[in-house]
Homo-oligomer: A and B are copies of this chain.
Amino acid sequence: MFPKNAWYVACTPDEIDGKPLGRTICGEAIVLYRGPDNAVAALEDFCPHRGAPLSLGKVCDGKLVGGYHGLEMGCYGKPVAMLGQRVRGFPQIRTYPAVERYGFIWVWPGDAAKADPATIHHLEWAEHPHWAYGGGLYHIRCDYRLMIDNLMDLTHETYVHSTSIGQKEIDEAAPATKTEGDEVITSRFMNNIIAPPFWQMALRGNGLPDDQPVDRWQICHFTPPSHVMIEVGVALAGRGGHEAPPEAKASSIVVDFITPETETSIWYFWGMARDFKPDDAELTASIREGQGKIFGEDLQMLERQQANLLAHPERQLLKLNIDAGGVQSRRVLERWLAQEQVS
């Protein structure tokens, strides 16, 4: 149960560098590649000739050339040439709206007539030279909503990520959750605490002492279909917390794009955007490595949780205050799904 009339992150540019990529998104087998003028294109991954996946072919002069019998596809899903054949009467295949923006390739797996690139989630930091970004991709066998729950309730950091970003003060601070239109925001503020290891590293990276009390914040923003941006950071205690001046804090945005593959599996694009030392590529790499390890700790938990839920579909789960972010996000999604049904 995922919206199909929505923009999802399909891949990153490096994944279609010089070759097509086959990826299933919201149940649709799609081939992504660079067409004429390097513009991204997305077609059904199904050759109209004999059904072979087009993603096993190659890209020549902006055309996708089938790897089995050489049918050349144009980027609008139209066969344009085949050695020794007239292709005029060949059936067209489905094309998906695709846009490259903010360093990601976005695809719209639903009704193409409704796709408006203006509605792609705006990422201010992605276009700003003061910011740097690093991230990665995990494939996880779970419903995309379990990952939304995970990110909208950071209580789990204390248990899943106990050696890096977890600390019991997170659990002790009650979160506040609100919905603004389609956006759900859940936030936690923990004042006058000791920074956990990951944030001690970030403080040092930003030239700040790592042994002083800090004010810590986590502000999770869910927007449909499945983006979660989390403002996170620590400031030296009493300097204004989230509002402290840049020289008194270390902060960043945790970036999460959750793209359903099937009902019970996802492509999880994770990353971190920061507005300090944006040109320090080594720092970007070391943050990326650290985040990759931390986020990798969630995989087994989510997959085993999914297996448990599939085995016990009748069970009602609890909805505590800490679950409000996930619960309200699911409500927004239900609204979107209901709208998609009638429209």
Residue ranges of A at the interface with B (Cβ–Cβ < 8 Å): 29, 45-46, 48-53, 56-57, 65-70, 82-85, 90-91, 149, 153, 155-156, 158-160, 168, 171-174, 300-301, 304-305, 308-309, 311-312, 315, 317-318, 320-323
Is B45 a contact partner of A308 (Cβ separation < 8 A)? yes
How distant is A91 from chain B, measured CB to nearest CB, in Å? Answer: 8
The verdict on A305 contacting B51 (CB below 8 Å), with A69-B156, A70-B155, A155-B69 known, is: yes
* 11 cross-chain CB contacts under 8 A: A46-B312, A49-B320, A50-B149, A51-B309, A65-B159, A67-B159, A67-B160, A67-B301, A69-B159, A82-B171, A85-B321
Contacts of A84 in B (CB 8 A): 155, 171-174, 322
Residue from B29, B318, B321 within 8 A of A50 (CB atoms): B318
The CA-CA distance from A266 to B39 in the complex, in Å, is 41
**Candidates B29, B174, B309; contact of A308 at CB < 8 Å:** B29
**Measured between alpha carbons, how far is A317 from B65 in the docked complex, in Å?**
18
Give, as a whole number of angstroms, the nearest-CB distance from A137 to chain B: 21
Taking the full assembly, how many copies of this chain does it contain?
Answer: 3
By a CB distance below 8 angstroms, the chain B residues around A321 are 85
Which residues from chain B contact A153 at a C-beta distance below 8 Å? 69
Contacting pair A29 B311 (CB below 8 A) = yes
A176 CB to closest chain B CB, in angstroms? 13
Closest beta carbon of chain B to A146's beta carbon, Å = 8
B304, A52: Cβ atoms under 8 Å?
yes
| Contact yes or no, B51 A315, CB < 8 A | yes
- Give chain B residues whose Cβ lies under 8 Å from the Cβ of A160: 67-68
Q: How far is the CA of A149 from the CA of B91 in the complex (A)?
A: 20
Residues in B whose Cβ lies below 8 Å from that of A66 = 159
Given contacts A67-B160, A300-B56, contact A46 B318 (CB under 8 A): no
- When distances are taken between beta carbons in the complex, the residues of chain B under 8 Å from A48 are 317-318
Provide the bound-state CA to CA distance between A304 and B312, in Å: 30
**Given contacts A155-B69, A159-B66, is CB(A172)–CB(B83) below 8 Å?**
yes
One of B70, B172, B305 near A52 (C-beta < 8 A): B305
User: How far in angstroms is the closest Cβ of chain B from A228?
Assistant: 17
User: Closest residue of chain B to A48, judged by CB?
Assistant: B318
User: Chain B's nearest CB lies how many Å from the CB of A269?
Assistant: 22
Please name all residues of chain B whose beta carbon is closer than 8 Å to the beta carbon of A318 when the two chains form the complex: 48-50, 90-91
Per the bound structure, the CA–CA distance linking A83 and B169 in Å amounts to: 9
Sorted nearest first, the 9 A-B pairs with minimum C-beta distance are A83-B171, A52-B305, A84-B171, A53-B304, A51-B308, A51-B309, A70-B159, A49-B318, A69-B155
**Beta-carbon contact of A305 and B68 below 8 Å:** yes
Chain B residues near A308: list those with CB within 8 A.
29, 45-46, 51-53
